[in-house]
Every structure is written in structure tokens, then in C-alpha cells.
Copies of this chain bind each other. A is one copy, B any other.
Amino acid sequence: MEVYNHTYTLRNCRFVIDYQKILENVNIIVDNGKIKDIGKDIEGDEIDCSNYVVTPGFINSHTHTGMIFLRGYHDDSELMTWLEKMWEYEKKATKEILRLSSEISVLEMLSSGTTGFVDMYFNPEDIKELTEKYGIRAAAGYTFINNLFDPEEVSKKQLGLSKTGLFYPIVNVHSLYTSDKKTLEIANDIANEQDTWINIHLAETRKEIYETKLKYGKFPIEYLTDLNIKNYQGVHLGWVASWEIEYLKNARSVTHCPTSNMKLATAGAFPFYEISEKGINVTLGTDGASSNNSLDIIREMKNAVLLQRHSYWDTRIKALHVFKAATYNGYKLLGINGGLIDKNQVADFALFDASELYPLKKDRILSHIVYFATSENVKKVIISNKIINKEEIKENIKTLAKKLNKIIPD
């Protein structure tokens, strides 16, 4: 990892693309972790980008980094069976396994050009350390889940989490079916106190819809709205009625995890187009390594288009929608000026090898990034003042995976 605590220039970028534009052969000047200028000028150290397609860094808006150790474990079951198997095996996880899993997740995400993520698991202190170690941005927090932890205990630990330049404490609530009304109210109070948002799995399965309606007389989104929970990130939303979308205007963001939904056969389809049309912020997430099983946000963009088109029998959701969701909208969720390659935006980039995206034509670049590229094509990732090379990431992953293989429970 190279650290640039000063001005540098990404010189002669072959293509620069964000959701608003595509530029050709331009320089990007970075100063103090922010974009200072785009054009023909050069300042400070130079990085030759004549063979790179430069995109904003990607935000993986929903994952469970600590779950790498569960990858491939009973992953051919349906959601509730799988979840029970997970919970059983999770008991075997040591702190070391969780920390190692989270670190491998961070490296896998960097490997696909991910510069920030939202994590829901039980080790946010590890995540905070990892943001310092690798320079990646993360929102994470302790998780309210009634069958595992006492809400008062979670609250105490959560209030000990503080914000840094890279780390944002959030209040994780596993779901409505694992958290009662009291827990939700506690979580909401803490979110208000910490000036942050609630991150919650929402309207994921028909079972959840049914049970919420049976218990509270309301559908999940309706119920959250009635509790006056406003600053929340709803994840999954496979089973949303058209009239419920209006309620989502309360949400900070909603997050689509297409691969996980399809793999777990939850069947519902996140109403991407209808939600976007209402001006609600749609972001993308890979979900964890046990349900996806990849943490590759580039694959996720493609899979979002695939799920949407297959479900709605039309091509309304285009490459641009998912690219925006994974870049600009992700930064919006995190509350950072980023996801655009413009002056004063954070200098977070993924650098794709242009010689691997062919036929290399300006009007096909977006299609290549979304439909053709893989994380293999990302050669460098830049977050603010740190530049990380792919080879370095891959070497680190191999070393840590070897450690994990040695201590993984049966």
C-alpha cells in the first residue's frame, strides 16, 4: 500500500466514468484525499493511467464480513433451514475466526474495487481496526438480535463505538422477526443518540410478512413507519406491495441483494424501478459469504440487472441504474461526498485494466464494467490517500486464508 499524504495526479486516464459522464484521456489531481481538479494539469507525483478505466470506488451496502468461515456451509438449503444451520455453526466461531473472516472479507472487497461497506455482525471493533489498517470506509455496529444477545448489553457496547474519518457506527437490528418492539425502541433511541441510522433486514421472505402481519396487524415497512423509525436502511425488500413504497420515503436508503435473494429462493423481487422513481436511494449489497457466496460488487451489479429483468419481463433497469446504485447512491448512504469523479469529492477510485475491456469504445465502457468485467480486471484501488495494488491484496488473502484453513471448526 502506498500512502500519499500530499498531492498526486492520475495522469492521462484512458477513460473516466461515473454515472453522469464518460471522459477520455484526462488527468485527475488529488489533494489531501479529495479531487482537486480534472483536466490537463498535473501536480505532485504522477501515476500513469493511460491503460486504466477509472471509476468511482464501489460501496457494498450490505454484508456480514465475519461470515467468511461459513462460506460453503450448508448453502444449498432454503432460507430458514440455512439460517438455523448458520446459527448453530456460528457458536463455534472464536474471536480469532471472526476477526480473520472480517479481514479476508475486507481484502476480497478491495479486490473488486470496493472502497466502503456496511457491515452487520458481532465484531464492529474489528471492523474499526480494519478501516485503519487498510484505509477502507465502513459503517458497522453491534447487532440487536433477541435470541442471541440482551438488548441492554448490545446498547452499552454500541454506545462505546465512536466515529472516525473512515468508520461510522450504525445500529444494526437483525430483523423484525428476531427483535421485539422494545428492542426496536431501544435501537432507535441509540441511533438518535449516535446520530446514525438503523440497518435492518426487511420484508425479505413471505414468512416474515405473514408473521409481522399476524403479530402486529401490519406489514413490515408499515410497522416500522408506525414506530416512527425514520432514519433506517432497509435491506432485501423482496416482498413489498406497491402501496408500501410510499412509506419508504422515510428510509435513508434501501438495499438490493439480488444474488442472496435468488440463491436462498426467497422469490420476491425488490421493486428497483418503482422505488427509484420515487426518489428513494437504492443501493446494492452482496450480503455475506454464506449466502452469496462472493463479496464481489461487480458481479452484484450484473446480477441486479439479471434479477430485475427476469422478474419484471422488461429491460427498464439498465447498466446505468446499478452502476449508480453501487457508486453514487452508496456514498449517499454513507453520508460522504463521493461516487462522482468531480471536484471536492473524495478521491476513491477503482482502476480497471483497459486492455482487458474490449472492444474498447467509449459508448461500451459502462456495459463492459457492468456485464463483462470481473474483479480480476481491477488492478488498483484508491481510497483518499492510499493506493493499493491488486497483487498485494491477493498475497494478503492467501496468507490469511491459510491461517483460516488451519483453525476452521468441523
Contact = CB atoms under 8 A, between A and B. Distances in A.
Contacts of A264: 309, 315
Interface in A294-316: 294, 296, 299, 303, 305-307, 309-315
With a 10 A CB-CB cut-off, give which of A71, A73, A318 has the most chain B CB atoms. Answer: A71
Given A75-B371, A293-B371, A314 B402 contact: no
Interface string A310-334: 1111110011000000000000000
A230 interface: no
Interface residues of A, number: 59
Nearest to A307: B310
A358 B404 contact: yes
Q: Assembly of this chain: how many copies? A: 2
A17 interface: no
A277 B305 CA distance: 30
A312 B262 CA distance: 10
A310 B372 contact: no
A106 to B, nearest CB: 15
Interface of A, secondary structure class, is helix
A356 interface: yes
B71 A359 contact: yes
Interface string A258-275: 010111110100000000
Contacts of A313: 265, 267
Nearest to A366: B72
Contact of A71 (B72, B75, B358): B358
A294 B372 contact: yes
With a 10 A CB-CB cut-off, give which of A73, A299, A310 has the most chain B CB atoms. Answer: A310
A71 to B, nearest CB: 6
Contacts of A306: 259, 262-263, 303, 306-307
Contacts of A356: 397-398, 401
A112 B228 CA distance: 51
A315 to B, nearest CB: 5
A83 B312 CA distance: 20
B294 A78 contact: no
A188 B34 CA distance: 65
Nearest to A405: B360
A355 interface: yes
Interface string A60-78: 0000000011011101111
A364 interface: yes
A72 B405 contact: no
A292 B371 contact: yes
A229 to B, nearest CB: 29
23 contacts: A68-B358, A68-B359, A69-B359, A71-B372, A72-B368, A72-B371, A76-B318, A78-B314, A263-B371, A265-B310, A265-B313, A293-B371, A294-B372, A294-B374, A303-B306, A306-B306, A310-B311, A356-B398, A356-B401, A359-B401, A374-B374, A374-B376, A375-B376
Q: What are the nearest 5 A-B pairs in CB distance?
A: A72-B364, A72-B367, A262-B306, A358-B401, A265-B309
